[in-house]
Amino acid sequence: MSASLRKQMLQRAAASSVPSPSLSSTSSSAPSPTSSASSPAIASPEHPTADTLFMSWARGFDSQHIVSVSEERSFRVFHAGSAPLDLNPAVFVLVHGAGQSALSWTLVAAMLRSTAHLIAVDMRGHGMTRAYPEHDLSLTTLVADLLAVVHATCNVAWIGEAVRSAQSGGSSPPTQEQKKDTHIDTLSSATTSHPACTATSELDSSSSPSSTSSPSDAELPVVFVGHSLGGSVATHAAQHSSMKTRAKGLVMVDLVEGTALASIPFLRTFLSERPKVFSCLDEAFQWHVAHSIPKSLSSATISVPALLVSEPENGSLTWRTNLEQSEPHWKGWFVGLSNKFLDGSLPKLLILAGTDRLDTDLTRGQMQGKFQLVLKPECGHMIQEDAPEAIAEALLSFFTRYRLDGAPLPALLRM
């Protein structure tokens, strides 16, 4: 299929799958809660408004879920996709960067959800996830968290139920009565009823994924896609021993070891100078756009609300993630990343905003053909938000080139 035809198909997919951000939008509900009665209550952050969050994730994802992998770890996971699993069993696992959230992938999901299955997870200490201790953002912990979520969700039973639930019709936006409660309701064994911000599924996944032999629980192949810090987490997860037969591809978005390590002093300065408090969402949107994180106001209105929490005293907005507290882990996130990315035989794609960001190891690896390189020089660091169509097209092209799951190509590509 020609590049121009693929682009036309993506444009049509985007036009048909991204609803306008109005209160008449609807969201698909997820599977019924099946949590363990012994699960403890885990308080969730209070984000700006129920309406805002509903309109954010519903623009690209079909459902949201709570995935409980242990008593201390409950992750907010978003799912998109309706394609039959016999056409495209591979699941794209989307991992966000430090201080961001799963909603940074919303527009990419909107482009691909008619063609592929995608899950995006709020990492520990981010977005609407509650996992303790929250300050433990070490690479080892983040990789373990991601692998636990992948084992819990990337299987025929979980994906199939999410699709059936979405196709059955979903929940509506919050009513006026429900809007009075702007909390992301407590994650507990009890079923909550807030359709915009509560879990649409709470699953106890503490048991080993290999403990059942049911065909409906068959594990699905996965393609890891990570942005910034998420690229490092995705790289280490994809090459973990438990993913030896399941990982089919690896994509890093705007992450290079040398550049990341050199940027650490600038990150300290940036964090010390950024606002500590915003008076309202509009102020937060404008600040993010002014600093090109992301460049587009329309993208910022989707991703920024999940980065903030409301102060109960005065309603002002502060940062959800304490990045300053994570400084002991910054260097460990990136040291040895280039060699780790180049290691192994997985098909790999690196998407960058410019070739000047390649370090020595990656430059050598690119000359040796160890990975595919896509450049988007017109974008800032948040490439997936600045150019979601380009990212979606790159992922489809990557899929086409390597036939990542060995299955027939998705309908969008079979022409």
What's the pLDDT tens digit per position in 114-168? 889 999 999 999 999 999 999 999 999 999 999 999 999 999 999 988 888 777 7
pLDDT in tens, 26-48: 233 433 333 332 233 344 556 65
Q: What HEC string does 269-298 produce? A: HHHHHCCCEECCHHHHHHHHHHCCCCCCHH
Residue 47's pLDDT is: 62
Instruction: Say which of 29, 228, 296, 303 is annotated catalytic.
Output: 228
At residue 10, the pLDDT reads 52
User: Which pLDDT does position 82 carry in this prediction?
Assistant: 85
Contact 198, 184 (CB under 8 A): yes
Nearest to 30 by CA among 81, 69, 96, 86: 81
Neighbouring C-alpha atoms within 13 Å toward the C-beta of 70: 11
Give the three-state DSSP class for 319.
Answer: strand
Peptide bond into 294 cis (omega under 30): yes
Q: Where are the beta strands (DSSP E) in 56-167?
A: 63-70, 73-80, 91-95, 117-121, 130-131
List Cβ neighbours of 103 (8 Å cut-off, separation of 6 or more). 56, 57, 78, 120, 127, 302, 303, 305, 306
Q: In whole angstroms, give the CA distance from residue 160 to residue 155.
A: 8
Q: What is the pLDDT of residue 313?
A: 86
- Provide the CB-side half-sphere exposure for 192 (13 A, CA): 25
Single out the catalytic residue among 96, 381, 386, 405: 381
Cβ-contact 354, 255 below 8 angstroms: no
Question: Strand, coil or helix: what is 78?
Answer: strand
Other CB atoms within a 10 A radius of the CB of residue 216 amount to 11
Q: Which long-range contacts (CB under 8 A, 24 or more apart) does 327-336 make?
A: 327/268, 329/137, 329/138, 329/139, 330/264, 330/267, 331/261, 331/264, 332/138, 332/139, 333/98, 333/139, 333/229, 333/232, 333/260, 334/232, 334/255, 334/257, 334/260, 334/261, 335/257, 335/261, 336/257
Strand partners, 351: 253, 374
Task: Walk along the chain (415 residues) and give the pLDDT tens digit of each residue.
Answer: 445 444 544 554 544 444 333 222 223 343 333 333 223 334 455 665 555 666 789 899 999 999 999 999 999 999 999 888 877 778 999 999 999 999 999 999 999 998 899 999 999 999 999 999 999 999 999 999 999 999 999 999 999 888 887 777 543 333 333 333 322 232 222 222 222 233 334 433 333 333 333 445 689 999 999 999 999 999 999 999 999 999 999 999 999 999 999 999 999 999 999 999 999 999 999 999 999 999 999 999 999 999 999 988 888 999 999 999 999 999 999 999 999 999 989 999 999 997 767 889 999 999 999 999 999 999 999 999 999 999 999 998 998 787 765 444 344 333 2
* Spatial contact of 170 and 63, defined as CB atoms under 8 Å apart: yes
Euclidean distance between the first and the last CA atom of the chain, given in angstroms as a whole number: 6
Q: Which of 254, 361, 386, 405 is catalytic?
A: 254
Is 254 catalytic? The answer is yes
- What ranges make up the beta strands (E) of 11-157? 63-70, 73-80, 91-95, 117-121, 130-131
Q: Is 381 a catalytic residue?
A: yes
